[in-house]
Amino acid sequence: MNMLNETAVEKVLERKMSNAALKMSGKDVCVFYGDKQALHNVNLDVRENTVTALIGPSGCGKSTFLRTLNRMNDTIDNCRVTGKILLDEDDIYDPSIDVVELRARVGMVFQKPNPFPKSIYENVSYGPRIHGLARTRAEFDEIVESSLQRAGLWNEVKDRLQEPGTGLSGGQQQRLCIARAVAVSPEVILMDEPCSALDPIATARVEELIHELRTNFTIVIVTHSMQQAARVSQRTAMFHMGILVEENDTDKMFTNPDDQRTQDYIMGRFG
Ligand SMILES: Nc1ncnc2c1ncn2[C@@H]1O[C@H](COP(=O)(O)OP(=O)(O)OP(=O)(O)O)[C@@H](O)[C@H]1O
């Protein structure tokens, strides 16, 4: 893509973002681990085709909030969530919600790349198979190729699709996990510090990818890196001690934040 086109696409995306529809919305979300309250009445909107970064010092509740968005907290025994999380119009904690289907709509990429101990092909085709998204070999081939293309990995692996996913480099494994998430056509992709186990070159590649993916997906990313939040996101939410202290446009957040705690955090005064 030439520079002019790139700028034009950027402009369209920026416009799209400022008018972007709400995709997910947390309303008065509280999370408890046993008796300990980890999140206090969080109200946070996630807009469509936007990258929202969750930042804040260690233990402030970023990952806890991220996990409420696709009910990953359900897997933690003593964890209790109150309030509402809406995905479009649906309350995802409603008893009628099928959690497997929810996690296909709201996928997740973890801190440490975690490919299945299977071939590259099977890593990507597994989700579409269990969700019945393809039937014939040709349909699976197409999903595998387009997902790997979207994850920017196709050219590196197209001649070794039957080799184990675990044999790839760390950065390639993380892009394989992104391809796996993308393969079931989710609406939202959650990323929990997706670059923390990667070297700077692999990190740059994944950041570039996040930038490209937001054309088609809504992304929420937890990051410890302020530079990363500034580079990849358009909206940023700052947590401190289980409280959402500020949610703002990323540019504003990093130049002229409204809350003193945000200012202190981005200046490296705590955390
Ligand atoms: N499974 C759990 N059981 C009990 N307490 C937990 C559990 N997971 C998180 N917590 C607590 O909840 C609070 C928020 O943790 P969380 O992992 O969400 O923070 P975080 O901002 O993502 O931290 P970090 O940046 O260090 O990953 C912390 O006090 C943490 O100790």
Q: Which fold has domain 16-115+189-266?
A: Rossmann fold (3.40.50)
Q: State the pLDDT confidence band at 20, using cuts at 50, 70 and 90.
A: confident
Distance from the alpha carbon of residue 61 to the mean position of ligand 1, in angstroms: 6
pLDDT of residue 1: 47
Q: Using one digit for the tens of pLDDT, what is the confidence trace for 219-239?
A: 999 999 999 999 999 999 999
Question: Is the pLDDT at 271 greater than 90, yes or no?
Answer: no
Query: Which residues approach ligand 1 with their CB closer than 6 A?
Result: 33, 38, 56, 58-64, 76, 224
pLDDT of residue 115: 95
More confident residue, 234 or 271: 234
pLDDT of residue 202: 86
149-176 average pLDDT score: 95
Q: Using one digit for the tens of pLDDT, what is the confidence trace for 22-62?
A: 999 999 999 999 999 999 999 999 999 999 999 999 999 99
Distance from the alpha carbon of residue 40 to the mean position of ligand 1, in angstroms: 13
ipTM associated with this complex: 0.97
- For the entire predicted model, the pTM comes to 0.91
Distance from the alpha carbon of residue 65 to the mean position of ligand 1, in angstroms: 10
Structural domain boundaries in the chain: 16-115+189-266
4-32 average pLDDT score: 75
| Cβ neighbours around 128 below 10 Å, total | 22
pLDDT of residue 205: 87
Q: State the pLDDT confidence band at 16, using cuts at 50, 70 and 90.
A: low
- For atom 25 of ligand 1, which residue has the closest CA? 58
Q: Which is nearest to 108 in space by CA: 184, 49, 25, 167?
A: 184
d(CA 40, CA 125): 39
The tokens describing 227, both together, are 């530079």
Question: Is the pLDDT at 9 greater than 80, yes or no?
Answer: no
Alpha-carbon torsion (121, 199, 155, 163), positive or negative: negative
Distance from the alpha carbon of residue 64 to the mean position of ligand 1, in angstroms: 6
| Integer CA distances (angstroms), 135 to 125, 131, 246, in order | 11, 11, 46
Which residues, including other chains, have CB under 8 Å from residue 200's CB and lie 6 or more apart? none
What angle is formed at CA 187 by the lines to CA 86 and CA 203, rounded to 5 degrees? 115
> Which segments within the chain are labelled E, that is strand?
22-33, 36-47, 51-55, 79-87, 90-91, 106-109, 188-192, 218-222, 235-240, 243-249
